[in-house]
Amino acid sequence: MYRASPPDEDLAQAHAQLLKDQSLQFDRAGFTPPEIPVWLRWIGDALEVMAPLLTWAFWIGLILLAALILFAIGREIVRLRRPPARPRKPRPLVVEEWRPDAQAARDLLAEADALATRGLYAEAAHILLLRSVQDIEKRQPNALAVSLTTREIMAMKALPDTARPAFSSIGRTVERSLFGGAPVDSDAFDECRRAYEAFALPDAWAR
Q: Are residues 70 and 140 in the same domain?
A: no
Number of domains in the chain: 2
Q: What is the pLDDT of residue 66?
A: 92
Give the per-residue SS3 of 124-137.
Answer: HHHHHHHHHHHHHH
122 and 184 in contact (C-beta within 8 Å)? yes
Q: What is the pLDDT of residue 68?
A: 93
**Residue 150: which of 131, 172, 132 has the closest Cα?**
172
Phi/psi of residue 78, nearest 5 degrees:
-65, -40
Q: What is the pLDDT of residue 204?
A: 43
Higher pLDDT, 34 or 107: 107
Q: For the ranges 94-103, 113-122, 134-143, which has the lowest average pLDDT? A: 94-103
Instruction: Establish if 67 belongs to a structural domain.
Output: yes
Residue 3 has pLDDT above 60, yes or no: no
Q: Are residues 108 and 194 in the same domain?
A: yes
Q: Are residues 125 and 183 in the same domain?
A: yes
- Please give the Cα distance from 193 to 207 (Å, whole number): 9
- Please give the Cα distance from 199 to 171 (Å, whole number): 14
Average pLDDT over residues 179-202: 82
Listed in order, strand segments (DSSP E) in the chain are none
Count how many Cα atoms sit within 13 Å of the Cα of residue 52 in the half-sphere of its side chain. Answer: 1
Q: What is the pLDDT of residue 195?
A: 83
In tens, the pLDDT along 30-86 reads: 667 777 777 877 887 787 877 888 888 889 999 999 999 999 998 888 888 877 767
Percent of the chain past pLDDT 90, that is, above it, reads 7
Q: What is the pLDDT of residue 2?
A: 47
Average pLDDT over residues 98-116: 82
pTM: 0.47
Instruction: Establish if 83 belongs to a structural domain.
Output: no
Most confident of 37-41, 114-118, 138-142, 156-160: 114-118
Residue 151: CB partners within 8 Å, gap ≥ 6? Answer: 171, 175
Domain span including residue 168: 102-200
Instruction: Establish if 3 belongs to a structural domain.
Output: no
Q: How far is CA 20 from CA 23, 29, 118, 145, in A?
A: 9, 19, 149, 117
